[in-house]
Amino acid sequence: MNSTTVSAELGLRLVVPDRTTVPLLAGLSYTADDPYAIRMAFHVGNDEPVEWIFARELLTVGIVRRVGDGDVQVWPARADGERTLHISLTSPFGQALFEVPLAPLTEFLHRTYEKVPAGRETDFMDIDAELTNMLWPS
């Protein structure tokens, strides 16, 4: 199993109801052992980061068109003349809209595809172990 990882810190903005923004820092992480997922940890105050897991393909497609159903929606946008990605998250606790600068996110995604090319994700997974975990969780 390949444990190659890619990580980055990303400055983004939380869009609040009056359309102003609040700067935040998020940590992005990707591992070849879980090749379909990107973890994004939002640093909010002094508490533990709030982590969401996104499909890598969702973020990739969201760069060019609106995508996503339900709790997570992603689409291209512009903010202050800068190309951004909007990420809308919904949970039982509320909803949040984030503006993510496109350039650093695109660079991060590019590095994930260098580690695990699109269409080759299953080459990096232990399918038997995944099935065992799903059928007989420990």
- The per-residue pLDDT for range 104-113, each reduced to its tens digit, is 999 999 999 9
Q: Which of 12-26, 84-98, 113-127 has the least mean pLDDT?
A: 113-127
For residue 53, give both structure tokens.
């897991």
* CATH of span 5-122: 2.30.31.20
Contact 9, 29 (CB under 8 A): no
Q: Which residue has the tokens 């997974």?
A: 125
92 CB neighbour count, 10 Å cutoff: 5
Cα–Cα separations (whole angstroms), residue 6 to 74, 111, 116: 21, 7, 11
Calpha distance 113→52 (Å, rounded) = 20
pTM: 0.81
